Structure 1
Amino acid sequence: MVEFTDHIGKPIHLLYYPPYHSKYNPIERCWGILEQHWNGAKLTDALTMLLWARSMTWKAMQPVVKLNLKTYEKGISLTKKAMRAVERRLERNPLLPKWDILIRPA
């Protein structure tokens, strides 16, 4: 996210939802709408799932849906030195340091 902020030249404000607070999380509400749209259809394969997801509309717009077959590596982490450099770029809200972070472009 730090690199992306530098690339676009605009700040990014990250607001995380605490665990087990899905009713406040917009993406969780989106999943609920998607489940209603599917209406119990059997998603037996990736193509069926993609076609159902593409058929959704919201405010007369349809989503861009792509199947990602990339396998992401597990266990990748930054060195402590690299993480300190990232942490210096993060502005954490003192009242909610784990949940409210601002990243400004360099």
Structure 2
Amino acid sequence: MATVTPVGIFLPSSDEIFFYGVVSKVTSDCLVDRLVDWWETVKERFSQITTLVINLDNGPENHSRRTQFMQRLLDFAQRYQMTIRLAYYPPYHSKYNPVERCWGILEQHWNGSLLDTIDTVMQYARTMTWKGKSPVVALVTTIYQTGVKLTKEAMGAMESQIQRLPSLEKWFVDIKCSSPTIRDD
């Protein structure tokens, strides 16, 4: 039996949900690929953005000390010439994370239905609503390799472009692009 894992991006200011059903293991690469997919669809609307603030849980694939995650976000910051600010929710505080409320609505929407196929899961995701809006829904069939990480030396070199808030080093992180250049998108 195939499985699908929900990954989401929620924009609280506009009540927009971007739902990705992932059939592979969710990895750092998977999460950053979803961020790139999302950004490519909205970047014209947000062309004035120079700092992208991302509120995250502190999951193992997106932890601020996860080398592959940080490298991929640095690549994102370089590619789109912006600062990425990561703000992590502390453990056991997911109730304050707005995207968790979206997942709750999705769970209520399928309300104990038999989710026996990927198509069924995706259809439920397409027909849910959040404050009167349906999510943007996509199925992700890319298979991601687990265990990808940087060496300590490579991570050390990358840290020069990462600023960690003193005394909250793992909870509040800025990833800066190395030099201002003209965007090539």
TM-score range, shorter chain: 0.7 to 0.9
Q: How does 1:78-93 map to 2 (within 5 A)?
A: 78-93=150-165
Aligned match of 2:141: 69
Q: Which has the higher contact order (CA 8 A, sep 6+)?
A: 1
Runs of 4+ in 1 over 4 A off after TM superposition: none
Aligned residues between the structures: 106
Aligned match of 2:112: 40
Q: Cα RMSD between the aligned structures?
A: 1.5
Report if the CA contact (8 A) 2:102-2:130 is conserved.
no
Post-superposition shift, 1:59? 4.7
- Unaligned 5+ residue runs, structure 2? 1-72, 179-185
Q: What is the TM-score normalised by the length of structure 2?
A: 0.53
Identity across matched positions, percent: 51
- Unaligned 5+ residue runs, structure 1? none
Q: Please, which moves more after superposition, 66-75 or 4-13?
A: 66-75
Distance 1:24 1:87 in 2: 29
Structure showing the higher strand proportion among its residues: 2
Post-superposition shift, 1:77? 0.9
Structure showing the higher helix proportion among its residues: 1
Q: Which amino acid is the alignment partner of residue 82 of structure 1?
A: A
Q: What is the TM-score normalised by the length of structure 1?
A: 0.88
Report if the CA contact (8 A) 2:105-2:130 is conserved.
no
